Amino acid sequence: MKVKSCLPLLLLATLLFFFLGAGLYAAPEKEERIVYLIKMSGVINPASADYIEKSIEKGEADRVRSLVIQLDTPGGLDLSMRSIVKAMLNSSIPIIVYVAPPGARSASAGVFITVASHIAAMAPGTNIGAAHPVAVGGGNMSDDMKKKVENDAVAYGRGIAMKRNRNAEWVEKAVRESVSITAQEAVELQVIELVASDLDTLLREVNGREVEIRSGKMTLELSEAKVVHLERGWRNEILNAISDPNIAYILLLVGLAGLYFELSTPGAILPGVIGAISLILAFFGLQTLPVNYAGVLLILLAVILFIAEVKIVSHGLLTVAGIISMTLGAIMLFDSPNPYLRISWDVLIPSVVFTALFFSTVVGLAIKARIAKPVTGVEGMAGLIGVARTPIAPRGKVFVRGEYWDALSDQEIQEGEQIKVLSVEGLKVKVERVSNVS
């Protein structure tokens, strides 16, 4: 009887447990949506390309919903730009380029990067354009070469724009005529998709849009996505700093100064090590910049002239020539019409002045050391005052600088009289009476 009365309770408990368990397994935790964000500000160079490419690779490996590149660039190197665009066009995750914050720009190489994105957006108060190619690598391009480079850039830009269904005609005008437009104009001309005031607004606006990635079409699911900022690593920060023309120029000067110290004082070791490291870093920076090698040769000539001043007394003429050569070399070192690929006057003038003062001081000390009277060894004894310890007629003994010396004199000198050393002849000194010295 008791068993029968318990059966309904057992049945109820079993059903309750079943439905509760079914509810738990039927509603698993919602998958977290991740969006990676990188901030690309400054010149497009090999370090920038490495930063963006590594971020795309990490996003693909982590299967994030999208990678947002917040862009603010005046342009940069063609090879670095093409490397970035290639990685973007072959990406398996959606890439959003967001020209921001207000006041930012996407110029020159930045135009191609923006157009290559799956979704292009800009903040209010930004602009895009001015993509005309310029000569990099030293020297002026001939008319035929300019035309070839321009046509190549146009074809490249149009191909990217057509793949992303953007305004290829405007991209061509940006290359040929260097036109530039505002964010709102870019939307109207179908260069970008939208204008967004901030990142949250951008993610809300693009949520649900369809894009085509390497594997096919996909719908963006970015609502309530968690934004993770991928910082530059220390390695990339160093590479980016070295690629700055001002830093590369300073490293070049430090390297040359270090080698000068090592050659002038062999065995010092530390100046040579610092100089060698600085030169290697400088050469890395120079290979990523539009270097005019006439400028490099003028800087090397300046150092040679400074060293020659130490060896050949020219009364400052070689030093002046070295200063002029270094100034001209610094001005010519980076041959580019773009200010961000040239040495700043704020760096150039102090560095030239400091280098000139440094070598002028070294030259002055070397000249003084050359003309100064010796103060050690037998050469330094000439002019010293001593005392005759025996009569000198014409030979005798004198006491000079704490030592007894055999002495010769053309005069008769009495014991105890002060004498002056005229010269040293072997192990003997030639002296004269101090009273006869004018």
- Spell out the per-residue pLDDT of the chain, length 438, in tens: 444 555 555 555 555 554 444 444 344 445 678 999 999 998 898 889 999 999 999 999 999 999 999 999 998 888 899 999 999 999 999 999 999 999 999 999 999 999 999 999 999 999 999 888 765 444 456 677 778 889 999 999 999 999 999 999 999 999 999 999 999 999 999 999 999 999 999 999 999 999 998 888 899 988 888 999 999 888 888 887 887 888 888 888 888 888 777 776 777 778 788 888 988 888 877 776 767 778 888 888 887 887 777 677 677 788 788 888 888 888 777 666 666 666 777 777 888 788 777 777 766 666 666 665 555 555 667 778 888 888 888 888 888 877 888 888 888 888 888 888 888 887 788 888 886 544
Regarding whether 398 and 358 lie in a shared domain, the answer is: no
> Beta strand 127-129 with 105-107: parallel, antiparallel or unpaired?
parallel
Would you say residue 248 lies in a domain?
Answer: yes
Domain count along the chain:
3
Rounded-to-integer distance, Cα 393 and Cα 407, Å: 10
Contact (Cβ atoms closer than 8 angstroms) between residue 113 and residue 88: yes
Regarding whether 349 and 311 lie in a shared domain, the answer is: yes
Distances, alpha carbon 128 to alpha carbons 106, 115, 137, 175, in Å: 5, 10, 25, 12
pTM: 0.68
Question: In sequence order, what are the residues at sequence separation of 6 or more whose Cβ sits closer than 8 angstroms to the Cβ of residue 398?
Answer: 386, 387, 388, 389, 392, 404, 405, 407, 419, 429, 431
102: amino acid identity, one letter: P
User: What is the span of the domain harbouring residue 285?
Assistant: 244-371
Regarding whether 279 and 223 lie in a shared domain, the answer is: no
Q: Is 135 helix (H, G, I), strand (E, B) or coil?
A: coil
Contact (Cβ atoms closer than 8 angstroms) between residue 366 and residue 310: yes
Regarding whether 136 and 281 lie in a shared domain, the answer is: no
Regarding whether 294 and 184 lie in a shared domain, the answer is: no
Q: Which residues are catalytic?
A: 108, 148
Contact (Cβ atoms closer than 8 angstroms) between residue 289 and residue 243: yes
Would you say residue 15 lies in a domain?
Answer: no
Rounded-to-integer distance, Cα 341 and Cα 328, Å: 17
